[in-house]
Structure 1
C-alpha cells in the first residue's frame, strides 16, 4: 500500500463530515467527535485545526489515488518540556486493519523527534481499541500506565492505556 503524508488543506474538510458522523469510525476516537454532529460544528473544529500552533497535523493520503483517508499528528506540543501527544484518525474504514496505522505512527513519531525535536511523545488509547494498541506497540511505544474508567462509550466505562516513546528509545531502534 502506498501511503503518504502531506499538510492538511482546507479542501480536506469535506471528508470529515461523513467520517465524524459514522459511529463505528469515531467509537474510540477523540471525545469531541462524540459531540459534533452538524456541518457547522465540524467545519468550525476543522478551521481551528488548520491554525492551531500547538499541533502538528498531517493528512494521510493513499498515494495510489491521492485520496484522503485520515489525519494524524502531535497535539499539545510543549516547547518547554519537548513533548507532545500523538494522535491518529483513519476516517476511511476500508483502510482499517491494513497496517496503515503502524506506518503512519512510525512516520509521525520520526517527524516528532527529527523536525519538532521532541524528547517524549505519548498517547492514550482505549483498551477496547485492540488494533490501535497493536499498531502503537509495533511502532515501539511502551505502556506507561492505565487511566481507569477514563472513557465512556456504548453505555460503559473503559480504561485508557497510556503509552509513550522517548527520543533515546527511538534513536536506538
Structure 2
C-alpha cells in the first residue's frame, strides 16, 4: 500500500466491483466524468479480474481511508511512456460522505509522489471540465498549473463544455 496522510492507495481487484459499479451509476459522482455506457456488476467484476496487473504504463489504485480502511474512490496513472516520462491522471471519490474533507487532495498528492519517486516520472498531466471547480481546486493545491484549453470536448445534459489541460512537473509537487 502507498500511504499518504489520510489515504492509502492499493491495487484494485474483483472484490471491488460492487463499489465501482455503484459509483459509476451514480449521476452525482459521474457528473464531470466520461461515464460511457451502463455496465452490469458482473462485467465490472470481470474487467477488474482480467485487466493486466499494475505496470508502468497503467496503474490503477483503490483509495482507502486510513481511518477505517473503507474504499472511497480510485486513482489511475495511465498512458505512461518511458521515453517521455509523462503519465495521465484520473481520479474520483465515489463515497460522497468523503467529499470536501481533504481525501482527494491527499490521494492526488500521494499518487503523484509515487509517480515521481517510484516510477521516475517527469510530469503528470490531466484534463478537467472547466466547470468542475472543486476538482481544479484540488489539483492547484497539489501544484498543477493550467496549460491549455480544449474547446467543447465534453458533453453533459445536451450541453458542450470546455476542458482545461493541467500539468505538474516533479519539482512542483506541494
Deviates more, 1:48-57 or 1:140-149: 48-57
Q: Which runs of 5+ in 2 are unaligned?
A: none
Deviation at 1:52, TM superposition (A): 5.8
Q: Which has the higher helix share?
A: 1
Residue 160 of structure 2 corresponds to 157
Equivalent positions of 1:17-96 (< 5 A) are 17-29=21-33, 31=34, 33-49=35-51, 51=53, 53=55, 54-96=57-99
Select 1:5's aligned residue among 9, 15, 25. Answer: 9
For 1:105 and 1:52, the matched residues in 2 are separated by 18
Deviations 1:22-60 (A, max 9, x none): 11111112x2x2313322443344335453642112211
For 2:144 and 2:43, the matched residues in 1 are separated by 33
| Contact 2:123 2:168 (C-alpha < 8 Å) held by counterparts | yes
Deviation at 1:117, TM superposition (A): 0.4
| Contact 1:9 1:50 (C-alpha < 8 Å) held by counterparts | no
Residue 119 of structure 1 corresponds to 122
Work out the number of aligned pairs and report it.
169
For 2:118 and 2:26, the matched residues in 1 are separated by 33
For 2:48 and 2:130, the matched residues in 1 are separated by 27
| Contact 1:26 1:34 (C-alpha < 8 Å) held by counterparts | no
1:22–1:141 distance in 2 versus 1, CA, 3 Å: same
Deviation at 1:130, TM superposition (A): 0.8
Deviations 1:55-85 (A, max 9, x none): 1122111122211001112111111111110
For 1:38 and 1:160, the matched residues in 2 are separated by 29
How large is the RMSD of aligned CA atoms in angstroms?
Answer: 1.8
Q: Which runs of 5+ in 1 are unaligned?
A: none
1:86–1:27 distance in 2 versus 1, CA, 3 Å: same
Secondary structure of the residue aligned to 1:160 is: strand
